[in-house]
Structure 1
């Protein structure tokens, strides 16, 4: 008698027919995608392909025109959903660090947990120090952002996103504003998060990171997913003409 197999686990994040336009320009076209828990999915594509807009829609910073964003079993694209209740579980880090320059590193991290999510100050500070220790910056807790390098500021921004213990992390070109020598320290932190089991969507131009760390690489082209595959298949045996063209371009630029 054949043993019954357990049903497959539902993905932590499921996008279904996502559409988004700005004025008359279509930015996202019928995006359908599953992100299992603990996976790292890397989004690649030319500037303007829709990567940032997709992440902003998932974080409810941009409203979608149509489709579903099912996170942890509920459609968070429903306008009745409280965005703050979602952002406590979905952290996002941007290309710009977005740190408040007049506040210390510790104050930047504590601000949202206390003011938005109502945590006690002492509890929030303890969690903030724990996150700073995790990203290797506990000794910078009392510094102002302009006293840190770009790479350190970006790691503070990551610590700020992690302090609420999100289930999903979104990274939008987090190394693009960094000098080349600082890129490695941020990508190393993202790799550590992946190894710790964090579920991540990472929009990046860093193809080496995509090849080594991603569970899947998804190419966005003109607002649609042109190809989505494990990194070895994506880089070594692309199937779509869009992926072949994209990889040819970045190889010609010496980025792979």
Structure 2
């Protein structure tokens, strides 16, 4: 991983404008606008079906969109003329499920994309993977297989896989939702450490305490739009919109 950078928030790294996505008659993203500043951490909250996962998948170009733009450093990566693979290589995505290949060791899982997508030779890819796995606390699990790891270890391996190519933007979709409660803390602490080092992150989560501690901005999604956004203190502590208050009340209940 590159040397830590100052965590001061900079100009926009990602700008999403007028994003629309429908599945049949069901509108999932409805003229959604969003910005993520460089070295910033933006947290998405909202009920299931509000569009959080679809938004992250659209940004990572795993979902085609019907309209709107997704600008990464000013280039609309959603434009059909843009090389989607090259754009996707600049981002790291971590899913709810770990999505590790069960027949491959942790080391092979983490080196797969560097070798096949980025063209690194095996020795170079393995050196980078060992460094990253050590960084996330898995130095002793490099030769293990996913079914030999705890859920928290598998998710840390998935995060290492996303980080090994030094992405400009890290996208995380409810990465603790599949974990037992006692394993959640180890993954959240890793993300908090990445935040302190200046990693630019867009995170969908239901972990409100984590959002309060690490986010520069919290966005409440409702019916495919950013219904309310602001600092964690404002959105989580003094929400202005009725829908936001109702969501937080249900969550705390």
Matched ranges for 1:199-238 at <5 A: 199-238=200-239
8 Å CA contact 2:10–2:40 kept in 1: the answer is no
Give the secondary structure class of the aligned counterpart of 1:102: coil
Correspondences of 1:97-246 after superposition (within 5 Å):
97-246=98-247
Q: State how far apart, in whole Å, the 1-side matches of 2:120 and 2:205 are.
A: 33
- For residues 144-185 of structure 1, give each alpha carbon's deviation from its aligned partner in whole angstroms, at most 9, with x where no partner exists: 110000000000000000000001000000000000000000
Q: Give per-residue Cα distances to partners, 1:204-235, cap 9 Å, x unaligned.
A: 11111011111111000111111011000111
Secondary structure of the corresponding residue to residue 47 of structure 1 = coil
Report Cα offsets for 1:22-62 as digits up to 9, x if no partner: 01100001111111001110000001110000000000000
Q: Compute the displacement of 1:82 (Å).
A: 1.7
The CA RMSD over aligned residues, in Å, is 1.1
Gaps in structure 1 of 5+ consecutive residues: 1-7
Q: Size of the alignment, in residue pairs? A: 245
Q: TM-score, normalised by structure 2?
A: 0.95
Residue in structure 1 matched with residue 5 of structure 2 by the alignment: none
Larger of the two Rg values belongs to structure: 1
Report the Cα distance in structure 2 between the residues aligned to 1:126 and 1:211, rounded to whole angstroms.
36
Q: After TM superposition, where is structure 1 displaced by more than 3 Å over at least 4 residues in a row?
A: none
The Cα shift of 1:237 comes to 1.4
Instruction: Quote the residue 2:59 is aligned against.
Output: 58
What secondary structure is seen at the aligned counterpart in 2 of 1:12?
Answer: strand
Larger deviation, residues 132-141 vs 241-250: 241-250
The Cα of 1:10 is off from its aligned counterpart by 4.0
Distance 1:9 1:137, change over 3 A: closer
- Mapped to 1, the partners of 2:35 and 2:70 lie a distance apart of 10
TM-score normalised by the chain length of structure 1: 0.94
1:19 alignment counterpart:
20
